[in-house]
Structure 1
Amino acid sequence: MAHVFFRRNYVHVRELNLSEINYLESDPEHRPRASLNYTPVLDDDFLELLTTAFNNHPSASSMMAELNCTRIRFVGGLPRGFACFQALRREGKHADRYIYGHHESTRNKFGTDKTFKSLKQFVPHVFWIIVDQPLADNRPRGCLCKLCAEQNYRL
């Protein structure tokens, strides 16, 4: 079933601007230590990578059904407070990407910084950001990403 916000509006490619979501709590102070020598990934490059990761995610078909589309294209900007950094592996041919800004990074019993260690790991959190907006008569289902699930387990 299509999510309530997208139910009547099927589109082949749904363009979403995550920076327009204003209810999200995030941690803009949570960034890599300087000693790690991570380099920032430009927002436009990150949105392109995120678009590919979202559309190719193992849960893509169920997410697309709820978003009432065939594909997603992220435009505009990242969710407020999030940033992507990369580090080249030793052989210098592949960059590992880390997404910073999770709202539970250093609070609520985590005690240590938490980052998404890949785009694939970040996708479920992005889906939650899109669809689990506070609704008047619905209880949100909660985020199923690894970091949120870990936090819920600790409570």
Structure 2
Amino acid sequence: MAKRLAAALAITASLLLGGCGADYGVDQHGNTVKAEQIEGQWLVLNYWAEWCGPCRTEIPELNAAAKQWQADGIKVIGVNYDGLQGDDLKQASQTLGIDFTVLAQDPAERYELPRSEALPVTYIIDDKGKVREQLLGEQTLEGLREKIKTLKRL
């Protein structure tokens, strides 16, 4: 009886806590992106599409940022603007040479982001989950570094 009650309480607690720190779905490789991999870090959230020329140009800059900032508590995450899923998302990511995590599920609702009509669009989100900046157009590693440095001082 006590074991059943403990199990029922554990299940109830996990359901209640499920909304807090909920996972981000899967990435372009089908791997689960856990909340703890993203939350508590600064986030550079970039929306891209295969047909977007400036998106293609900025991918190497974002790859470099993702690699350089791994130890700095700054995470680069991509989202396909066209909502590609599964093998289509994996293929598009490979075609563009994306090395950073690409989410299959758009986190726009989680961060209360508006649907942008222009691409590329990049959002800088602080370590508390607050959107601090919306950047339209092609970004560079240096430009993003300076913007984040400025925002961290504010």
Relative to the length of structure 2, the TM-score reads 0.26
Larger radius of gyration between Structure 1 and Structure 2: 2
Higher helix share: 2
